[in-house]
Amino acid sequence: MNSNFIPIRHINGSPLTEEQQKFLDGFFAGLTAHGVTFGDVEAAPVEEKKVSLDDLIFEERVKRELHPLDAYEQIVENAVGNKAPDKEEVFRFKWNGLFFLSPNKEAFMSRLRIPGGLLKTFQLRELAKIAKELTSGYVQITTRANLQMRLIQPRDCPEFLQRVQNVGLHTRGAGADNIRNLTANPTAGIDPHELMDVMPLCNELAHIIINDRSFYDLPRKFNIAFDGGGLIGTVEDTNDIGAKAVKIGDEIFFRIALGGATGHKAFARDLGVLVKPAELNKVIVALVRVYIANGNRGDRKKARLKHLLETWSLEKYLDETEKILGGKLQRAPADLKVEYGDAKLPHSHIGIFPQKQKGLNYIGVAMPVGQITPKQMLRIAEIAELYGSGEIRLTVWQNFIIPNVPDAYVETVKKALRKTGFDTQQSLLRGGLIACTGNSFCKFAQSNTKGHALELADYLDKKITLDAPVNIHLTGCPNSCAQHYMGDIGLLGTKVRGEDGYHVFIGGGFGANQAVGRQIFSGVSVDDLKTTLEKMLKGYLRRRATGETFQKFTARHDLNTLQAVFTNEE
């Protein structure tokens, strides 16, 4: 080959040396001998693997036939005739946060997205009006510090969505194969115990997600939580990605844990890296992209990140993430001493707490199992505006707090809340009571979780006074939306001789007390449940060591001993 035809004549602006020229002569002569030209040396276009839609499982097929975010027109069209969605639309409309509740109810539930659970009062006010005018008026705070409203007719869906968006909120990606509502400490930025205010990071990621369509086609649901330390946690270790601030010397880093899904008895596992706050969202995005590319799309039961991590080691996952990032992340030495900023309350945080801003307080308000009426929402908006800073924050404990209340207004706020039907004081038992939606609306529910939770609390409050918190989580089915495996006492709905009942678990916990609850009783009817729990709590109070928590007490006994203690048959 004549070197005049070598297509490269300079490298970095310098003419080729004799040696370089000889090498290229040989290289291109070889190509010519094989009938290949320089143009052919470019990477061959990636041939897209053609998969027939018929080969896909239902959910993947529905997503490929029409991207669910492009189904909005159908929502509008269905509204015209107040038409119920067909099977495909039921799945697709979840991308707009609309869940059709058939066969329980022939109407939609809508789940919002409220990053970090932070709501401004003008938003709360409009949501209250929307709830009153377009829904049955049933509003609930969810276990992801979020709101759900329900019994929306197809004809009202477009107006519902428009009005939610008009106040700067949205519902996109609230259900199905998406990154769900991002959670952060509800006291971020105001808690004297926190290491870092994570709300800006949470908001930044929320906007990255909104603006990138590739985050709306995951293999399955996906949870992300930010924890900056402080009194009220985010149970970040129950999320697919939990980012937790730590202090090393004077510097703040994040540790990242992967693969939490407590319904599958899995807590997130530490990835072994330290990430600077400014890098955190870039790393989270890369972690999510690895899941998007490699999660199981053929079997919904094995599709969560936790399942990928059963076939991949954490090292492999990290390796794939670093390929996307184009560099190595800082490793956390095994013997690293870190400060966690954990002055965590074991459960909710009802009452008055001083903020890091001198003279200001946040007020934790008790909401029985997360239910609230539009009228109460309007009044809370008014209180937060008059005496706070015009915002409220929802918690994963199905409660809310009003931040930034000056010392002088605390008593007034307490009184105003009481008049509205809310307390700022409650028993230690009620403070840690969480219940999923239950059978009034959820087709999976075996029991009326919220109703039974309230009955239980009323009964037990009369019989027992606890001096240490005991969390009780009621879940209507194994999906575990109220995370029964991480409660001190977990109640899992079931049918007992055709009637509502529960399996009873004990000893679950999260964070520093991380543990999966153990089943102690099965098939307890609702009638027997109150006395069962009464005996359990009395047995604990009778037999515990000084200062011992319920979880620690149960952890040091085997199930047989505990059954004897809890049934008074020792």
Residues of this chain that interact with ligand SRM (CB under 6 A) are 99, 101, 109, 111, 142-144, 146, 148, 180-181, 221, 223, 261-263, 304, 436-437, 441-444, 479-481, 483
Residue 517 burial by Cβ neighbours in a 10 Å radius (0-12, 13-18, 19+): buried
Contact 256, 290 (CB under 8 A): no
What does the alpha-carbon distance between residue 187 and residue 395 come to, in Å, rounded to a whole number? 9
Shortest Å, Cβ 348 to ligand SRM: 14
Shortest Å, Cβ 210 to ligand SRM: 16
| Interacting span for ligand SF4 (CB under 6 A) from 223-231, 250-258, 470-478, 544-552 | 470-478
Binds 111, which of ligand SRM, ligand SF4, none (CB < 5 to 8 A, cut-off by type)?
Answer: ligand SRM
Contact 410, 355 (CB under 8 A): no
Based on the shown chain and the rule CB under 6 A, indicate whether residue 475 belongs to the binding site for ligand SF4.
yes
Contact 219, 251 (CB under 8 A): no
User: Which residue among 444, 454, 461, 468 contacts ligand SF4 (CB under 6 A)?
Assistant: 444
Between the alpha carbon of residue 396 and those of residues 26, 36, 134, 369, the distances in Å are 67, 62, 26, 11
Based on the shown chain and the rule CB under 6 A, indicate whether residue 476 belongs to the binding site for ligand SF4.
yes
Spell out the residues 6+ positions from residue 421 whose beta carbon is closer than 8 angstroms to its own.
376
What does the alpha-carbon distance between residue 308 and residue 302 come to, in Å, rounded to a whole number? 8
Going by C-alpha positions, the residue among 166, 155, 54, 46 that lies closest to residue 98 is 155
Torsion region of 336: left, alpha or beta (phi above 0 gives left; psi -120 to 50 gives alpha) = beta
Shortest Å, Cβ 78 to ligand SRM: 19
Based on the shown chain and the rule CB under 6 A, indicate whether residue 483 belongs to the binding site for ligand SF4.
no
Between the alpha carbon of residue 30 and those of residues 23, 25, 37, 122, the distances in Å are 11, 9, 10, 72
What does the alpha-carbon distance between residue 290 and residue 377 come to, in Å, rounded to a whole number? 40
Shortest Å, Cβ 400 to ligand SRM: 13
In the complex with ligand SRM, which residue's Cβ is closer, 135 or 143? 143
Based on the shown chain and the rule CB under 6 A, indicate whether residue 181 belongs to the binding site for ligand SF4.
no
Binds 477, which of ligand SRM, ligand SF4, none (CB < 5 to 8 A, cut-off by type)?
Answer: ligand SF4
Binds 181, which of ligand SF4, ligand SRM, none (CB < 5 to 8 A, cut-off by type)?
Answer: ligand SRM
Binds 452, which of ligand SF4, ligand SRM, none (CB < 5 to 8 A, cut-off by type)?
Answer: none
In the complex with ligand SRM, which residue's Cβ is closer, 367 or 565? 367
What does the alpha-carbon distance between residue 528 and residue 501 come to, in Å, rounded to a whole number? 9
Residue 70 burial by Cβ neighbours in a 10 Å radius (0-12, 13-18, 19+): exposed
What does the alpha-carbon distance between residue 337 and residue 249 come to, in Å, rounded to a whole number? 9
Shortest Å, Cβ 58 to ligand SRM: 12
In the complex with ligand SRM, which residue's Cβ is closer, 120 or 180? 180
Shortest Å, Cβ 369 to ligand SRM: 8
Residue 73 burial by Cβ neighbours in a 10 Å radius (0-12, 13-18, 19+): exposed
Cβ density class 30-64: b for 16+ within 10 Å, e for less: eeeeeeeeeeeeeeeeeeeeeeeeeebeebbbbbe
Q: Which residue is nearest to ligand SF4 (CB)?
A: 476
Shortest Å, Cβ 222 to ligand SRM: 9
- Contact characters 33-72, ligand SF4, x per CB under 6 A: ----------------------------------------
Q: Please, where are the H alpha helices in 214-326? A: 277-294, 305-311, 314-325
Between the alpha carbon of residue 94 and those of residues 83, 257, 278, the distances in Å are 16, 27, 32
In the complex with ligand SF4, which residue's Cβ is closer, 122 or 444? 444
In the complex with ligand SRM, which residue's Cβ is closer, 180 or 452? 180
In the complex with ligand SRM, which residue's Cβ is closer, 145 or 318? 145
Shortest Å, Cβ 221 to ligand SRM: 5
In the complex with ligand SRM, which residue's Cβ is closer, 309 or 562? 309
Based on the shown chain and the rule CB under 6 A, indicate whether residue 442 belongs to the binding site for ligand SF4.
yes
Contact 398, 434 (CB under 8 A): yes
Binds 531, which of ligand SRM, ligand SF4, none (CB < 5 to 8 A, cut-off by type)?
Answer: none
- Binding region for ligand SF4 (CB under 6 A): 436-437, 442, 444-445, 475-477, 479-481
